[in-house]
Amino acid sequence: MAAAAEGVPETHREEPVPAEYKLLENMNKLTSLKYLEMKDITVNISRNLKDLNQKYAGLQPYLDQINVTEEQVAALEQAAYKLDAYSKKTGNSKFKKENKTKQKIKVRAGSLRR
């Protein structure tokens, strides 16, 4: 026979039984239903992802402002550290002189009131 499967002698081939066709048909239907379920899940995921992307796009200006503010705070913090170091380095003697001058002025003002 020309329809014989390659490598299988004709005497050992079995014709499919109607029950096997029914089993294959049921398996195909079940597989088709599973694919439809997966398609629905994929559509829902896609829709939710689109919604999240839109929300993220709406938040983006605020996120940018937060980033800019964070950079400004970091720069301000560095400037404060530099100013603190500078004032410790040079300001202690000036601060002491200013305090002494203020104390002298208070003493003089107090002696003038008497």
Determine the structural domain holding residue 94 and report its residue range. Answer: 17-113
Residue 9, in any domain of the structure: no
Mean pLDDT of the chain: 84
Q: 92-110: per-residue pLDDT in tens? A: 666 666 767 777 776 666 6
Residue 6, in any domain of the structure: no
Q: How many domains does the chain have?
A: 1
Rg of the chain in Å (alpha carbons): 43
The two structure tokens encoding residue 66 = 């937060």
DSSP 61: H
Residue 63, in any domain of the structure: yes
The answer on pLDDT for 112 being more than 60 is no
Q: How confident is the model at residue 91 (pLDDT cuts 50, 70, 90)?
A: low
Closest CA to 10 of 22, 19, 1: 1
